[in-house]
Structure 1
Amino acid sequence: MSNIITVLKSSPTFFSIIILAMSATSCSSFRDYMRPISRGIPKESDAVKSSFRTIHNDSIVPPFHFINEDQAENAINVLIDDKMIDATAVPLDEFVKLHKTLSFAIIRNDTVLYEYYAPDVTNQTNVTSFSIAKSFVTMLIGIAIHEEKIKSVHQSIADFFPELSDKPDIRPITIQNLLQHTSGIKFSKEMFNPWSDNAEFYYTENLRKRSLNLNVKEPPGQHYDYQSENTMLLALILERTTEMSISQYLEQKIWTQIGTTAPATWNTDRNDTLAIEKAFCCLNARTMDFAKFGRLLLNKGSWNGKQVIPEEFIHEATTPSIKNGGKMTYGYNMGIGPVKYGSFFSVGLYGQFIYLYPAHNVIIVRFGKSGYSYQPNYWKSIMLQIIDQL
């Protein structure tokens, strides 16, 4: 707080803005405005400082095989370019240390070829996923459709939000629009702007109310516009149709079905009965449990013979389409790799990845620390460099 006061004293213009904000908003809203300044940019340590719901696991099933030390030395020999302009190839062991990596694993044919943890991290540490969480919400939507709790991806979101009946421009927006980020909803998302909608979503203590206070800037299906609002609306739809929190639904439908080794947590906006998960981010689990989710997707929703997620929905979610504003490199909250590879991936802030390469049955998981130098396209190229050498 003392840092904020110092800034205010040294910046009359900024001070004037704050006074105007205070006069235009309630005290609780003002706290929402100030919270991004006092807490700074999103970081992995937020997971243990924020309230959360626990997602319990069930019986542990180890689907991955670990090679012995003698085999490990020769199991993988990968060279990767670093970020320098005059980049030269460095071994994977060196690369992960150069780029703020918390954990990294490469799995092929259910065999762990490579595994790395930073000095302050172990295989029992929960890492945070940031936007990887969006792909979990997506797969829960697929399950809810299969269970006929939702009619289809083409159902209007107005069916689930009667309190928005005074907004006729909501009716044309479908669940598919939310999944593809083509909803046309107005949402500012500058990464480091403390007063953007994106920052407010991350820090607000009334996310449920804020999510329903939405405005439409254009008809749906016109343009791709990636935003947290879309995923929060999906979470509210799941909550209303399943009569569970999304943590409970995830626990019942996926987490206890895939032999995870430990409980996960999902950060919430507050710590009371009105809390809701930050569905657009903030799912925290062990690295290899995230890898198990990757294995589930790689195997088209089947886990050791049991269909956990409908196969047709995973196919739909990972097939790009430019129709209705869609993007060739994006499906339903899933990134799509180059056509040559047939790869797809869940991706989160600061280079968090669950990268899947079906042709070679490869899973690559990577989690890292926060930093201002995050470059999404750089990390995508790194994944391709690795799979080209496997």
Structure 2
Amino acid sequence: MKPLNFKFLLLVLFASIFICPSCNKEPENRFPLAEQYKINGEELTLAFDEMKTVEGALSLIVCRNGVIVAEEYTNYQSYGADSIKNIMSVTKTFTGVLVGLAIDKGYIESVNDPISKYLTGVVTFPDKVKAGITIDQLLKMSFGHAWNGTSTSSLFGACFFDSEDNLQFIIDLPLVAVPGTVFNYSDGASHLLSAIITEATGINTLDFAKENLFDLLEITNFAWSTDDRGYPLGAAYLRIKPRDMVKFGNLILHKGKYNGKQVVPEAWINEMTTTKISTNNDVPYGPEYGYQIWLGNTGGHRYWMAMGWGGQFIIIVPDQQLVVTATCWTGNLTDQQAGEHWISIIQIIFEKVLPCVN
């Protein structure tokens, strides 16, 4: 047996230490607050790194006990912390909260009111069945028509881009199920809620939101696209900053309170986040639906989720005092691209971010 070449061994050792420092590199933790809030900072850093690999990813924020523990922006297309972003169908959960505020202030009597009580004269009801559809049925996505909002056959474009009268288009759709019985994710249903808020309160839904919600949450920079008659789209196209998404998530987490003040009745938040209907697993991680919000369980924890096309999310885990938000670019995407971004981001949140939390 030949004697060991100690010069060669020393050279290998030198190379391993100085030439290849990554071989002995400690796991990275970019978030010093993580451990203080019982979150694995190294695993969280890996999750944030994976978020950056999603094409068009814009922001990811993790907030626990009201403190932002981790927050990063990619500045894709120059979008940063101070940019307002189209949150797509996350808008629906805002609309749901606004319905509760309109009820609390006496403008809407009950979720059991028929929509014709507020929309007669605004639209033409072809029969008593559609006139009798209730606010409750809109809130829980059981209008009875086949909008198919989570599929490529969604009627969003046909309604809001192509039709001559957006509201009447929604009312005129044929019913394929008895109202109140079957979940079918509908931008049309959410948009009717916005029209009802405007008609019931006598002021535009955006003005109602500003006075009764945004001002109280200190949301100062926002925009909300409208339909052909000027009603803000109850289903989508609200634009706010990512940190304002966190504020809204914490409002729901704290049962309607913000900075110790009851902004939304606790009873309404409880109502919104109570299961109203099964979605038949219409989307991954969305087995149940409340009032304009998705509901489910993961790892023994209950969660509430607002989500939007292309990868917009507010995910709330009440028993962990946790809010996670994400945004992604939505301009000039195909449905396939948007779907790929959506599934990539939701998997990062549920499979990488949430397991970091102790």
TM-score of Structure 1 vs Structure 2, range by shorter chain: 0.7 to 0.9
Distance 2:158 2:232 in 1: 14
Shift of 1:328: 5.0
Match of 1:295 in 2: 250
Match of 1:31 in 2: none
Shift of 1:217: 2.8
Question: Given that residues 221 and 325 in structure 1 are in contact (C-alpha distance below 8 angstroms), is that contact kept between their aligned partners in structure 2?
Answer: no
Q: Deviations over 1:160-193 (max 9, x none)?
A: 2324354111144111110111110243557545
**2:269 corresponds to 1:309:** no
**2:214 corresponds to 1:255:** yes
Residue pairs, 1:66-145, within 5 angstroms: 71=32, 77=41, 79=43, 91-100=46-55, 101-119=57-75, 120-145=78-103
* Rg larger in structure: 2
Question: Given that residues 322 and 328 in structure 1 are in contact (C-alpha distance below 8 angstroms), is that contact kept between their aligned partners in structure 2?
Answer: no
Alignment RMSD (CA, Å) = 2.7
Q: Summarize the Cα distance change of 1:236–1:215 in structure 2 as closer, same or farther, 3 Å threshold.
A: farther
Question: Given that residues 256 and 262 in structure 2 are in contact (C-alpha distance below 8 angstroms), is that contact kept between their aligned partners in structure 1?
Answer: yes
Distance 2:227 2:180 in 1: 30
Question: Given that residues 154 and 174 in structure 1 are in contact (C-alpha distance below 8 angstroms), is that contact kept between their aligned partners in structure 2?
Answer: yes
Shift of 1:322: 4.1
Shift of 1:70: 8.0
Residue pairs, 1:1-390, within 5 angstroms: 71=32, 77=41, 79=43, 91-100=46-55, 101-119=57-75, 120-163=78-121, 164-187=124-147, 189=149, 191-192=151-152, 197-204=155-162, 206-260=165-219, 262-269=220-227, 274-322=229-277, 329-338=288-297, 340-370=300-330, 371=333, 372-373=336-337, 374=339, 379-385=345-351, 386-390=353-357
Q: Deviations over 1:265-288 (max 9, x none)?
A: 001235xxx322222100001110
Unaligned runs of 5+ in 2: 1-29
Shift of 1:388: 2.1
Greater displacement, 69-78 / 100-109: 69-78
Question: Given that residues 353 and 365 in structure 1 are in contact (C-alpha distance below 8 angstroms), is that contact kept between their aligned partners in structure 2?
Answer: yes
Distance 1:325 1:342 in 2: 18
Question: Given that residues 156 and 187 in structure 2 are in contact (C-alpha distance below 8 angstroms), is that contact kept between their aligned partners in structure 1?
Answer: yes
Match of 2:13 in 1: none
Question: Given that residues 189 and 199 in structure 1 are in contact (C-alpha distance below 8 angstroms), is that contact kept between their aligned partners in structure 2?
Answer: no
Letter of the aligned partner of 1:223 in structure 2?
A: V
Match of 1:216, SS state, is: coil
Greater displacement, 294-303 / 214-223: 214-223
Question: Given that residues 321 and 328 in structure 1 are in contact (C-alpha distance below 8 angstroms), is that contact kept between their aligned partners in structure 2?
Answer: no
Q: Summarize the Cα distance change of 1:97–1:185 in structure 2 as closer, same or farther, 3 Å threshold.
A: same
Distance 1:107 1:351 in 2: 18
Match of 2:306, SS state, is: strand
Distance 1:380 1:303 in 2: 27
Unaligned runs of 5+ in 1: 1-68, 81-89
TM-score by length of 1: 0.72
Q: Summarize the Cα distance change of 1:117–1:324 in structure 2 as closer, same or farther, 3 Å threshold.
A: closer
Match of 2:22 in 1: none
Shift of 1:159: 1.6
Letter of the aligned partner of 1:347 in structure 2?
A: M
TM-score by length of 2: 0.77
Distance 1:78 1:330 in 2: 34
Distance 1:183 1:172 in 2: 11
Distance 1:140 1:309 in 2: 9
Sequence identity (%): 22
Letter of the aligned partner of 2:89 in structure 1?
A: S
Distance 2:146 2:245 in 1: 32
Distance 1:199 1:96 in 2: 29
Distance 1:337 1:300 in 2: 18
Match of 1:338, SS state, is: strand
Q: Deviations over 1:73-101 (max 9, x none)?
A: 86752548xxxxxxxxx812321111131
Shift of 1:367: 0.3
Question: Given that residues 146 and 310 in structure 1 are in contact (C-alpha distance below 8 angstroms), is that contact kept between their aligned partners in structure 2?
Answer: yes
Question: Given that residues 187 and 227 in structure 1 are in contact (C-alpha distance below 8 angstroms), is that contact kept between their aligned partners in structure 2?
Answer: yes
Q: Summarize the Cα distance change of 1:379–1:118 in structure 2 as closer, same or farther, 3 Å threshold.
A: closer
